[in-house]
Structure 1
Amino acid sequence: MPSRAAAEHLPEGVDVMNEPWLITDLDPVRRLHALAGGIRGAYVTEAYIEAPFERVWSLLGDLEGAFGQVVPDMERLRVVRRQGKHVEALARSRYGMRARLRGVQQPGWCWLQSRFLLLGVAAAPEGPGTRVAFTGGVRLPTHAALIPLGVRREGSRSVQRLTALLCPPVSRSRRRTARKTATEQMGPPT
């Protein structure tokens, strides 16, 4: 709070606040919703993944590796510069489009954009698992909006791919072996 002397130098009609502003921190998933809410045509796909945050983010945060296995449209992403949390990367889509992306990456958060492309990924621990969110899309350079073609489908496919990488399905033979082992441990019925 400014001193009384500082308050005397305020313009007429401006008064000193005596109540502090409410400050709140948003987790990365809520922050992604907030930013996407300001972009016309943006859609956020959100899901709960039954895997610890560290495992989930080890895949999503690996921009040059596993990230391309999770995001269906991304054929290749190569980081060309990193300075703290700031990242510059070259991306190539499966459809041949290229982009120079700039943005921020830190644990639980990745927001990269170019003139034509936006990618947003967030993750936050929730109980024993992780809440994840994806947004992104293509935009025209003269428009602030995203072109909403396939955005929902791509988000759903990203969640499916991430889940498959983290929680691979158990094969029938492994299920039979697990059932047999469990029966052997219990012993014969009495």
Structure 2
Amino acid sequence: MTVTTAKWTLDEYHRMIAAGILDQRRVELLQGEILEMSPEGEPHAYFSSEAGEYLTRLLGDRATIRPSKPITLPNQSEPEPDIAVVHRLGRAYLDHHPYPENIFWLIEYSDSSLDQDLETKSRVYAEAGIMEYWVVNLRQRHLIVFRHPQAGDYTSKRIVTEGILYPQAFPDVAIPVNAIVSQ
């Protein structure tokens, strides 16, 4: 017996949300599949909240920090990254979630979802042309920085445990690694 997974479009997914079908579920759409999101443990909630507040203060009017809100990607995906650093479009976000061209970079905090964030989501984000993607490995307390999307994958991937990062979108902004995740 062959099992076929039903694929959903963004429009179908939005209609399910509008109809209330997904109200009691924490889900996101990845490449046409509706996936359950892992619950947040205490370290996940703490680090993502602290980093979001730090980035808001650091970037000020240069960007909007959207914590755990959807982004809309052309590959039938609408994930909810822990932190999306996006263009300040104000009321435009009443009509649509940020698109790839509105996104400076994304951050995911990962424990039980680490494999999915490192493999599936990195490909989804690279395919959509997201220039920079950071994954915080909560198990080992280090940061994995993905850059330079090309042909559905990132050509640069490095693990960082200390020091300063300069986001591609803001090369003049120094971000201490311990502001994103501390040891």
TM-score interval w.r.t. the shorter chain? 0.3 to 0.5
- TM-score computed with the length of structure 1 as normaliser: 0.32
- Greater RCO, 1 or 2 (C-alpha within 8 Å, sep 6+): 1
- TM-score computed with the length of structure 2 as normaliser: 0.33
